[in-house]
Homo-oligomer: A and B are copies of this chain.
Amino acid sequence: MCELLGMSANVPTDLCFSFTGLTHRGGGTGPHKDGWGVVFYEGLGVRAFHESRASAQSDIARMVQNHPIKSEIALCHIRQANVGEVCLANTHPFQRELWGRYWTFAHNGQLNGFEPRPGFYEPVGTTDSEALFCDLLNAIRTELHRDVDLTTLTRFLVKHSDTYAKLGVFNLLLSNGDWLFTYCTTKMAAITRRSPFGPARLQDADVTVDFGTVTTPSDVVSVIVTEPLTVEEQWERYEPNEWRLWRKGEVFDQGNTRTDNQS
């Protein structure tokens, strides 16, 4: 399995603290040693860093830990391979252009009997995650119009996520740079930090930060992860089949298709 980290903020914010915590689990405090990757949106552009080796021992990961790259949306993944060999092409997050924007995708889980439909987008590597990403983009492109409103798009993402989730474990981060869509079948937790900001301490490294010294009172920053990254903070765990659409640090839309459908 793998671990995910997403960030949504209302002001360009660096990911150094959370990224440091997560990447310690990539072959250090955790077993996810088969590669790591992170994407940062900067306006419409995306910067990506990927490596098919353990993040805990990576010079490039260390540089990203210490070099503040400010972004309103970031996605990160550390990999413990199951389907697909350990190589750069199989390292999340994956990225494709759709309707003149970069869409990025990171996934934790494994689907049984998943059969991607042929379409325009094709995987380059051999993971079922990338095949799934291409399948989802092909569906969006085929079934929706480029001017689709966000509510309709979100319902579409939820519907397809529910279908994938029926096949196994499907914990998802997906973004087009405007919003961050998250879906959980097994493990996901989130925290929203806002004024008054306090200190936080990583679980996986001897690192503490006082967010009060690096923020302004109007900042809102949310972090979404597989497992909480800090101690002494209250993380909120997603329920199975819960989804949230994040925008500018806040939950913009949310639901749970298991409980929403119950009467």
Chain A residues in the interface with B (C-beta under 8 A): 42-52, 59-60, 63, 67, 87-91, 95-97, 99-102, 120-125
A60-B63, A67-B60, A120-B120 known; A46+B88 contact, CB < 8 A: yes
A44-B124, A100-B123, A124-B45 known; A63+B52 contact, CB < 8 A: no
Q: CB distance B87 to A42 under 8 Å?
A: yes
Residue ID in chain B nearest A141 by CB atoms: B120
A interface SS class: mixed
Tell which of B46, B59, B100 touches A122, judged by Cβ atoms closer than 8 Å: B100
Q: How far is the CA of A137 from the CA of B101 in the complex (A)?
A: 16
Closest 10 CB pairs of A and B: A45-B88, A45-B89, A100-B122, A44-B89, A42-B88, A63-B63, A44-B124, A43-B87, A47-B50, A59-B67
Q: How far is the CA of A99 from the CA of B118 in the complex (A)?
A: 11
Q: Residues of B contacting A52 with CB < 8 Å?
A: 42, 45
* Shortest distance from the beta carbon of A45 to any chain B beta carbon, whole Å: 3
Q: Residues of B contacting A48 with CB < 8 Å?
A: 47-48
* Shortest distance from the beta carbon of A17 to any chain B beta carbon, whole Å: 18
A63-B59, A63-B60, A63-B63 known; A44+B100 contact, CB < 8 A: no
14 chain-A/chain-B pairs, Cβ below 8 angstroms: A42-B52, A42-B87, A43-B88, A43-B89, A44-B88, A45-B91, A47-B48, A47-B88, A48-B48, A49-B49, A59-B67, A60-B67, A95-B95, A96-B97
Q: CB distance B97 to A45 under 8 Å?
A: no
Residue ID in chain B nearest A95 by CB atoms: B95
Q: CB distance A102 to B124 under 8 Å?
A: yes
Q: How far is the CA of A138 from the CA of B67 in the complex (A)?
A: 37
